[in-house]
């Protein structure tokens, strides 16, 4: 198995994609708006991916947070609110905010499970900092670490109830970034003591089966490399200080925060200690290069992948989506929050 997650170019697989995926056997796939049209189309696409790999339990992920980060959109699918909504409710009613976040995530997860998606790249556990770039912004669950952890845990619980694994991101923290890592490499000058604030939510939820790195240079830890490519950040900060032993994905390797060819980035990320290279944009030359540059998945990463997929098998089907949304909306209405 190739330790990579690849994107797809369109609504259906091309002949070249079908042959390449069958040959290289990637760990999984990531879907975007370009891959999403209708329930029937999306079910057919995820069914074909499973058939190609010969695995019913397959890592198929998507970025479906709610708010501005949503690949499955109305009118085919429901709109869900951003994290900031639950942060505001938490100001006045913490228990209500936690329950609203859990119900919302379960309802969202039901949309994903219905079409064969097994992993949501959500929640963001980045602690919001004043004056930082808005790339996180209203996606954040708050500016107080334990609030972020409490709401993040509720989201993970809701997703699991729907049979979908969550992925905590962006380790070891994106909340201080003064640039958008899609466009440039953010550099964080905070001290080790200040960065403890950023680590706290990830440490609290370190037993989550899936996590994602941040393409950020943290001067206090490694003044030369982005976190994704830093053996110190991955090994000492994410694995040891945070205590995360789950499946560690890179953020998208196509992002302009990183330099070098995409296959070179993938090889450096795995050499730094990441388990999976995430390559989103379905450029065949890059995917072929990644498959050639990476070794076969090792036993430790394979166990982590298996543990992540185990988490998708416990979905509870006893509650319908309308009931969950009604509960969420009633809780948000307590303080006049829109859904």
Per-residue pLDDT band for 228 (boundaries 50, 70, 90) equals: very high
Strand bridging mode 59-62 / 165-166: unpaired
At residue 336, the pLDDT reads: 78
140, with CB counted inside 10 A (0-12, 13-18, 19+), is buried
Strand bridging mode 277-279 / 217-218: unpaired
Per-residue pLDDT band for 339 (boundaries 50, 70, 90) equals: low
pLDDT digits (tens, 9 = 90+) for 56-105: 999 999 999 999 999 999 999 999 999 999 999 999 999 999 999 999 99
CA–CA separation, 254 vs 265, rounded Å?
A: 9
Per-residue pLDDT band for 190 (boundaries 50, 70, 90) equals: very high
Q: Which of 63, 87, 251, 252 is catalytic?
A: 251
Q: Which residues pair with 66 in a beta bridge?
A: 69
The dihedral through the CA atoms of 240, 244, 246, 249 has a sign that is negative
Rg of the chain over Cα atoms, rounded to whole angstroms, equals 19
| Cβ atoms 109, 161 nearer than 8 A | yes
Give the 3-state DSSP-derived string for 273-310, with helices as H, strands as E and coil as C. CCCEEEECCCCHHHHHHHHHHCCCCCHHHHHHHHHHHH
Nearest to 291 by CA among 11, 14, 24, 51: 24
Among 109-113, 287-291, 308-312, the range scoring the smallest mean pLDDT is: 308-312
The residues, any chain, with a CB within 8 Å of residue 240's CB and separated by 6 or more, are none
At residue 327, the pLDDT reads: 96
251 annotated active-site:
yes
Looking at the predicted structure, is the pLDDT value of residue 315 above 80? no
Looking at the predicted structure, is the pLDDT value of residue 109 above 90? yes
Average pLDDT on 231-252 reads 98
* Mean pLDDT computed over every residue of the chain: 96
The residues, any chain, with a CB within 8 Å of residue 3's CB and separated by 6 or more, are 27, 270, 275, 276, 277, 294, 295, 296, 297, 298, 301
pTM: 0.97
Please state, in angstroms and as integers, the Cα–Cα distance from residue 334 to each residue in 99, 128, 139, following that order.
13, 24, 22
CA–CA separation, 89 vs 279, rounded Å?
A: 36
| Cβ atoms 7, 282 nearer than 8 A | yes
CA torsion angle 73 147 60 16 (round to 10): 70
Looking at the predicted structure, is the pLDDT value of residue 133 above 70? yes
pLDDT digits (tens, 9 = 90+) for 38-57: 999 999 999 999 999 999 99
In this structure, what are the phi and psi dihedrals at residue 330, rounded to the nearest 5 degrees?
Answer: -65, -40
At residue 198, the pLDDT reads: 98
Segments making up each domain of the chain, as ranges = 2-333
Please state, in angstroms and as integers, the Cα–Cα distance from residue 164 to each residue in 80, 100, 156, following that order.
16, 18, 9
At residue 317, the pLDDT reads: 66
Per-residue pLDDT band for 334 (boundaries 50, 70, 90) equals: confident
286 annotated active-site:
no
Topology annotation, domain 2-333: TIM Barrel (3.20.20)
Q: Which of 16, 91, 182, 306 is catalytic?
A: 182
């Amino acid at each position: 198995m190739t330790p990579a997650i690849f994107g797809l170019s369109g609504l259906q697989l091309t002949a070249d994609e079908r042959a390449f995926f069958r040959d290289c056997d990637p760990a999984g796939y990531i879907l975007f708006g370009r891959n999403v049209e209708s329930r029937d189309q999306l079910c057919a696409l995820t069914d074909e991916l499973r058939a190609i790999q010969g695995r019913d339990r397959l890592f198929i992920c998507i970025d479906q947070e709610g708010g501005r980060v949503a690949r499955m959109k109305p009118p085919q699918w429901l709109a869900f609110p951003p994290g900031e909504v639950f942060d505001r409710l938490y100001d006045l009613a913490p228990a209500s905010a936690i329950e609203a976040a859990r119900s919302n995530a379960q309802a969202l997860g039901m949309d994903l499970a219905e079409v064969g998606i097994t992993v949501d790249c959500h929640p963001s556990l980045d602690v919001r900092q004043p004056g930082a770039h808005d790339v996180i912004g209203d996606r954040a669950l708050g500016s107080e670490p334990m609030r972020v952890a409490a709401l993040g845990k509720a989201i993970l619980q809701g997703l699991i109830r729907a049979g979908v694994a969550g992925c905590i991101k962006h380790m070891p923290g994106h909340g201080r970034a003064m640039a958008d890592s899609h466009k440039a490499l953010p550099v964080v000058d905070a001290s080790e003591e200040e960065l403890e604030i950023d680590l706290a939510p990830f440490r609290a939820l370190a037993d989550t089966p899936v996590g994602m790195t941040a393409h950020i240079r943290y001067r206090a830890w490694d003044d030369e490399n982005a976190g994704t490519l830093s053996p110190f950040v991955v090994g000492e900060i994410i694995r040891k200080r945070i205590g995360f032993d789950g499946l560690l994905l890179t953020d998208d390797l196509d992002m302009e925060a990183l330099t070098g060819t995409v296959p070179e980035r993938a090889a450096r990320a795995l050499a730094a200690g990441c388990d999976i290279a995430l390559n989103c944009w379905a450029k065949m030359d890059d995917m072929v290069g990644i498959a050639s540059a990476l070794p076969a998945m090792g036993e430790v990463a394979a166990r982590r992948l298996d543990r992540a997929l185990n988490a998708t098998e416990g979905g509870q089907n006893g509650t319908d989506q309308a009931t969950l949304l009604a509960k969420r909306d009633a809780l948000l209405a307590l303080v006049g929050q829109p859904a």
